[in-house]
Structures are given as structure tokens and as C-alpha cells.
Amino acid sequence: MRSFTILPLLCMCFVIIVDGRRGLFHSSLGNTFPNYPCQADPSLSPFKLEPTYTMSPSANGQRICFIGAAIQRCPTEDPCCTQADFYKLLLRVRPTCRRAIRSVTVNGLAAPTPTFEVYGLARDMALFKLPRLNLTTNNATGSKICITLRDPCPNLAALCPEGDGSCTYSIGQSTSPHRCCPTNKFGSVPPPPPPASATAVNPVPSKPLPLPTTAPRQKAVPSRRNLANGPAPYTGTFPYVSACNQTTGLMPFRLAGSPVPSRTISGGNVYCFTLEAAPCADSSSSCCSSNLLKVDWWSYDTCRGSVRAFVDKVPYPVTWDQGGTFRLTKLNYSPDEVAAQPKQICIELRKDGPCDSIQKFCRLGSTGGCTYALYDGSQACCPTANTPALRR
């Protein structure tokens, strides 16, 4: 007869209860933000940030400033309301952004260098801690906290996992025994406005749509001399110039064909366009004899820091503008010059960046095509078109 040994099963179960509250008390054992046990309910704290923030250019990326909101009412019987301070600010960020914050200031004075932590069961979450802000209910309202961002995450859309310019933050305390971490969000992006009219050029759809395989031709408009009556309606979207004529084919240039993919020795993904001469939609327009000053592509702010450009295999400086506008400027090509020798314009995308393919780089580029605009020197002419789908 066989004998069996019955082993006891040991179950270890934990319920976290602090001051009788279960609610939003976070445990560091899971994939939560912040990454330590604390009371995250924002209604229990007098502190929060204004929902909007300001941006200004920096040498490599952007300077982002947050403003302390007015002290809010909270339940005075709760220690997170009456005994906590605003000692540090925690930002939920992408794990790839370790070196993104170059500097921190509080009310114009330098603050300590932030610390970076990767956490989570899969090590796929990260945060920045901005310590020693030393704000209280006496001085938090209106206080200005600024961070200067750089590559590889030179703006909030690239820094925070939301990807739309908004970000989740938490406020940490200093020495109080009550673990308070009111958690909130700033910078939620409003939905885009509706198109100006049913015939408007480049309306923003509610979600990305495939590009047509050929650029639609629009009816030619009068010469720039009658520009007040000529341009297609401006919709407030790409291209972000309200007084230019967007009619496709208005200048004697175009990006011919679809982007051609290749790779660099370092493994970066390269896509090349051919800038060539093209017939004008309206030969009587002064736009038809204009030189080409710059080319814009409609991209995403998250792609800043992930792209380089080459013209005829020579590195070329790039700039960025509002709405994810990627730009090559100061080209100054004449129609005769491009007709005699077309130009090769290549974009190299970092394989470890957030925009590692042309589909991710070009807005509305799910098929591998791109929306672009050409400009003359006066910026009165900005013919806009789409390249065909990617050639494989």
C-alpha cells in the first residue's frame, strides 16, 4: 500500500490598508505609477499643476514649463491634505528617454539634476524624479517649473508614453510619514477643429487614412497677382501658412514617384525622393517661374531627434516647425537647375527611434506615402501634394 505525504499549501496574501483607505493606494509590486506604495488620489492633496504648459525652442528640443495651480480644497482630516508638501515632481516617461532632461529650474533658479528609473514587471516603464522643489501651500501657486529637453526625447510627445503631448505626473512629499503621491495629467490635446469647408485642402481626419496612389489635381487658380481670390481655403492644418497658394502643381517642381527604401552601414532606414522639374498647373502664374526655397513634410513632433537628411548624398541641416512640420530650407533651386539635374533628397530614420519607418514618419503615411509642400521665396506659393505609396 502506497503512502502519501500531504504537504501544506502556504498562501501569502496581502491587503494594503493605510488609515483605513484602500482606493488609489498604489503598490510597487505591479505596473503602477508611481513605482512605490502611496496614496495617489489627487482629490486628497492641495497641490496640482495647471492643465496646460508652455513651450519654447531650445538648442536641441524644447523648454517646457509647468505652473503650480491654485491650492485646492481637500478633506482636512486626511494627512495628505494637511501634512504633505510639494517636494518633488515625478513624470511618467518612456524607457528610452534616460538622458532627455538636460536641466531643471524652479522660478528661474537651477534645481538638482533629476533621477531616472526603469521599473515594471517587464522593465517597460520609466519615470523621472525632479527632487528638492521645496514648494508648500504658501508658495506653490504660480510657481514655474521648467525642464529643458534634448535628444532622444526632445519634446513631450516623445518623452511621455501618451505620445500626444500630454503627460501623467505625480507630486511627492519630503519627510512626512504619510505616503502621499497625488497623480494627475496635464496637456490633454483637444480634438482637431472641423475643416473650413467641404472643399478645403488637407482637412485633418479623425484617424490616419491611406494616401491615394496618385496626387489629386486641383483646378488651376489665377496668378499670384490675384492671390486674395485665388488660394484654396486655409484649414489651419498643414501647410501652416495661411496666405499661400496650396494648389498642386503650381510651381515647376515635384517629388517624383514613391520613396525608395535602403539602409545605411549603421543600420538606419533611408528613404529617398527625387526632386525633379514638372509642368505647371497654371503657366501664367508667377509661381511657375519661382525658385524653390524649401520643402516641408507633414510628420509628427515625436520624430524630432530621430531623423537626418541628405541632398545628393551630402548631409543637409533640418529644422522643425509647428504641427510636426519637418523642413529642408535655403535650397534656392531654380527651375532650370533642377530640370538639368534632378536632386536626390534622402531621409534617414534611426532604427532605435520612435519613427523608424516612413510609415511612422509621415503623417497619414500608412501606405508609405508622404504629404509635402514646396515653397517659393515669398511663401506666397506652397503647392501641396502626396507622394505615391512606398515601393518595396
Q: Cα 192 to the chain's mean position, in Å?
A: 15
The stretch 33-44 carries a mean pLDDT of 90
- Cα 130 from Cα 153, distance rounded (Å): 17
- Cα 307 from Cα 352, distance rounded (Å): 11
Q: Cα 250 to the chain's mean position, in Å?
A: 31
The stretch 147-166 carries a mean pLDDT of 85
Q: What pLDDT is attached to residue 59?
A: 60
Least confident among 91-95, 161-165, 217-221: 217-221
Say yes or no to pLDDT of 264 above 80. no
Can you tell me whether residue 263 is helix, strand or coil? strand
The pTM of the full predicted model, rounded to 2 decimals, is 0.48
What DSSP designation does 135 have? B
- Cα 254 from Cα 241, distance rounded (Å): 19
Say yes or no to pLDDT of 88 above 70. yes
Say yes or no to pLDDT of 11 above 60. no
Higher per-residue confidence, 90 vs 392: 90
Can you tell me whether residue 301 is helix, strand or coil? helix
Q: What is the dihedral of CA 96, 101, 106, 111, to 10 degrees?
A: 110
Q: What pLDDT is attached to residue 356?
A: 86
Q: Cα 13 to the chain's mean position, in Å?
A: 42
- Cα 128 from Cα 118, distance rounded (Å): 9
Q: What pLDDT is attached to residue 61?
A: 62
The stretch 10-16 carries a mean pLDDT of 36
Say yes or no to pLDDT of 182 above 90. yes
- Cα 231 from Cα 239, distance rounded (Å): 13
Taking alpha carbons only, the member of 322, 300, 317, 313 closest to residue 236 is: 322
Give the bridge partners for 277, in sequence order.
253
Q: What pLDDT is attached to residue 210?
A: 34
Q: How confident is the model at residue 391 (pLDDT cuts 50, 70, 90)?
A: low
Can you tell me whether residue 157 is helix, strand or coil? helix
Say yes or no to pLDDT of 376 above 70. yes
Taking alpha carbons only, the member of 369, 380, 383, 377 closest to residue 294 is: 377
Say yes or no to pLDDT of 175 above 50. yes
Can you tell me whether residue 253 is helix, strand or coil? strand
Q: How confident is the model at residue 370 (pLDDT cuts 50, 70, 90)?
A: confident
Per-residue pLDDT tens for 288-343? 999 999 999 988 877 887 888 999 989 999 988 887 899 999 999 999 999 999 99
Cα distances from 65 to residues 56, 105, 171, 302, in angstroms, run 9, 9, 16, 18
High-pLDDT (> 70) share of the chain, %: 74
Say yes or no to pLDDT of 185 above 70. yes
Q: What pLDDT is attached to residue 386?
A: 87
The stretch 190-205 carries a mean pLDDT of 37
The stretch 58-62 carries a mean pLDDT of 64
The stretch 22-41 carries a mean pLDDT of 68
- Cα 66 from Cα 51, distance rounded (Å): 9
Say yes or no to pLDDT of 266 above 80. no
Look up residue 365 and give its amino acid: G
Say yes or no to pLDDT of 228 above 80. no
The highest-confidence range among 22-31, 195-204, 274-283, by mean pLDDT, is 274-283
Q: How confident is the model at residue 257 (pLDDT cuts 50, 70, 90)?
A: confident
Q: What pLDDT is attached to residue 187?
A: 81
Higher per-residue confidence, 215 vs 122: 122
Pairing of strands 371-375, 294-298: antiparallel
Higher per-residue confidence, 13 vs 115: 115
Mean pLDDT across the chain:
78
Cell of 106: 524652479
Least confident among 138-152, 216-230, 262-276: 216-230
Residue carrying the nine cell digits 537651477: 110
Higher per-residue confidence, 300 vs 3: 300
The highest-confidence range among 114-128, 150-164, 176-190, 260-274, by mean pLDDT, is 114-128
